[in-house]
Amino acid sequence: MVDLKFVKEHVEEVKENIRNRFMDVDVDRVVTLYNKRNDMLRIIEETRQHRNENAKKMKGKLSPEEREPLVSEGKQLKEKIAELEEEFKILDGELQTLAKLIPNSSHPEAPVGKEEKDNLEIKRFKGPTQFDFKPKDHIELGDQLDLMDFETAAKVAGPKFYYLKNEAVLLELALVRYALDVLRRKAFTITITPDIAKEEVVEGIGFNPRGAESNIYTIEDTGTCLVGTAEITLGGYYSGSILPGESLPLRMGGLSHCFRREAGAAGQFSKGLYRVHQFTKVEMFVYTRPEDSEQAHQELLAIEEEIFQGLEIPYRVVDTCTGDLGAPAYRKYDLEAWMPGRGENGDWGEVTSTSNCTDYQSRRLGVRYKEEGKNQYVHMLNGTAIAVSRAIIALLENNQQADGSVTIPKALVPYTGFDVIRPGS
């Protein structure tokens, strides 16, 4: 949630940011409700003070004639306060509901646009992989190498689920351990998080846990959801806490399964492992001081690049446009790996992202830090270390050989125990 005082004092700036994100929020109504709420708080406080003064008067030695009007006034004030508090509850509820729709501010350098084509490419590592044969996509490779089974998974669990088999199982575990080892070297506290979170935590992070547009699976009659990312469980770790300033920055890594409805996701770019209902991911999360968050964001991006450079996978980095940021993000970078089997001639596909959410999530979750006697909201950042399903796509497609085999990057061989996957192996 944004700072409502900031919204009131920067109405036109907030409106422009909303337009740049191609969203629709009634900012004027938010400001009106905010002013009414503040006025009502003042009236409630004045009425309470009046009641306290009335109560003090009744403590003295009074005749029945003197006490009676004070008792009558005390009852009236009590009833009045109850009425005002009920009105305040309704007013504040409307304000909070509408204010939650206001997105975070956008970084001044974030490209303004609505679609992926509006993202700004800022760097590349290697170029598209060249072959002297027609490359296959990961679905065909997976079938020929007996690495995955989509048909049986659809029969058992439904579409967009999958079985990993044989070397692909060890490849997933290798990618997880490889990423976790990188994070340990970077002084992250590594965790395995719950795959379930309370709805209020999911909503606090910025995901919509309910409704047709939600990408989250809710668990009926429990008030909980399956997490779409460990960003939710890592961000909720310190909810409602005041952290000592000297503990910052806090760097956490979380391994979890991720569950996403992916409603309406279809087409050739969503096939196979690219867009699925369940996958394994190692997530990075940082709590930091506001003045350090931009540097922390660059550090998360550098770690993502280090991981994929170690895997020798061609990628590009894009600065995400305002219309594709999502409400919590102030700025977001995506790593897009080259995927030779994507489309007719290969294309870039997102494999990681990292976002600086500033204090948007910490305000919703109540995460602050104390320094020099003052409590301030922390800045919260997240980044993908490895999303295994998409990393497997990039590994298989870029490392395929003319004989149908797939070589394993040197960095992963100590984890897999093999350096090549061959047909029939």
Residue 86, both tokens: 């009920």
Q: Is 364 a catalytic residue?
A: no
Which of 251, 275, 316, 342 is the catalytic position? 275
401-344-135 Cα angle (round to 5) = 5
Q: Cα 415 from chain centroid?
A: 29
Tell me 233's DSSP state. Answer: H
- Predicted pLDDT at 169: 98
- Predicted pLDDT at 16: 95
The percentage of the chain sitting over the pLDDT mark of 90, rounded to a whole number, equals: 81
Read off the pLDDT band of 212 (50, 70, 90).
Answer: low
Q: Is 390 a catalytic residue?
A: yes
Domain ranges of the chain: 4-99, 116-421
Q: Is 353 a catalytic residue?
A: yes
Which of 293, 353, 355, 389 is the catalytic position? 353
CATH number attached to the domain at 4-99: 1.10.287.40
Query: How many other CB atoms are found less than 10 A from the CB of residue 346?
Result: 18
Using CB atoms within 10 Å of the CB of residue 39, give its burial: 0 to 12 exposed, 13 to 18 middle, 19+ buried: exposed
Which of 293, 363, 390, 397 is the catalytic position? 390
Q: Is 261 a catalytic residue?
A: no
Q: What is the mean pLDDT of residues 167-196?
A: 98
Using CB atoms within 10 Å of the CB of residue 378, give its burial: 0 to 12 exposed, 13 to 18 middle, 19+ buried: buried
Q: Taking every pair of C-alpha atoms in the chain, what is the biggest distance, in angstroms?
A: 106
Q: Superfamily assignment of 116-421 in CATH?
A: Bira Bifunctional Protein; Domain 2 (3.30.930.10)
Where do runs of H (alpha helix) occur along 59-106? Answer: 64-99
Residue 126 corresponds to which amino acid? K
Residue 337 in contact with residue 315, Cβ under 8 Å?
Answer: yes
Q: What is the mean pLDDT of residues 385-405?
A: 97
- Least reliable range by pLDDT among 90-104, 173-187, 212-226, 335-349: 212-226
pLDDT digits (tens, 9 = 90+) for 7-63: 999 999 999 999 999 999 999 999 999 999 999 999 999 888 888 877 777 777 777
CA-CA-CA-CA dihedral for 229, 286, 319, 346, to nearest 10:
-40
Residue with tokens 């303004």: 112
Cβ contacts of 228 within 8 Å, gap of 6 or more: 207, 215, 216, 258, 259, 260
pLDDT digits (tens, 9 = 90+) for 313-363: 999 999 999 999 999 999 999 999 999 999 889 999 999 999 999 999 999
- Least reliable range by pLDDT among 143-152, 229-238, 265-274: 265-274
Q: Indicate the pTM of the whole model.
A: 0.91
Q: What is the mean pLDDT of residues 286-309?
A: 98
- Predicted pLDDT at 226: 96
- Predicted pLDDT at 213: 67
Q: Is 350 a catalytic residue?
A: yes
Which of 260, 363, 364, 368 is the catalytic position? 260
- Predicted pLDDT at 389: 97
Residue 308, both tokens: 């994929």
pLDDT digits (tens, 9 = 90+) for 265-276: 555 667 899 999
Which of 203, 304, 336, 350 is the catalytic position? 350
Answer positive or negative: Cα dihedral of 132, 313, 144, 344: negative
Region of residue 262 (left: phi > 0; alpha: psi -120 to 50; beta: else): left
- Predicted pLDDT at 137: 95
pLDDT digits (tens, 9 = 90+) for 107-128: 999 999 998 889 999 999 999 9
Q: What is the mean pLDDT of residues 170-177?
A: 98
- Predicted pLDDT at 260: 94
